[in-house]
Amino acid sequence: MIRVYLDTSIYNRLYDDKNQVNIFLEMQATISILNLIEMKKIQSVNSFVLEYENQKHPTLGKRNAVNEYLKQSNFNFPGGKSRALHPP
């Protein structure tokens, strides 16, 4: 099965200004990918970095919504906190 790692900006794209054409198209692509994850056609990958970045989001509602998507991940990127915060 295909695994995808979505950057924090991808999850947050859902909340950007959809009046700009490029943002609207990226938002539609993001929704399509998230639907494939929910239908279990592909697997999403989570990581400490994604969770850390999401914790820093200033808006609680958006932070909680992204956290729900992260909980759907089927795979956690190996390496843990020390590797994410202290790259080689």
Strand order in the sheet with 43-46: 3-5, 43-46, 75-76
pLDDT digits (tens, 9 = 90+) for 34-72: 999 999 999 999 998 899 999 999 999 999 999 999 998
- pLDDT tens digits for range 6-26: 999 999 999 999 999 999 999
Could you tell me the two tokens for 23? 């943002």
What's the pLDDT score for residue 33? Answer: 95
Q: Please state the pTM of the whole predicted model.
A: 0.78
Q: What is the DSSP letter of 76?
A: E
Beta strands in the chain (DSSP E): 3-5, 43-46, 75-76
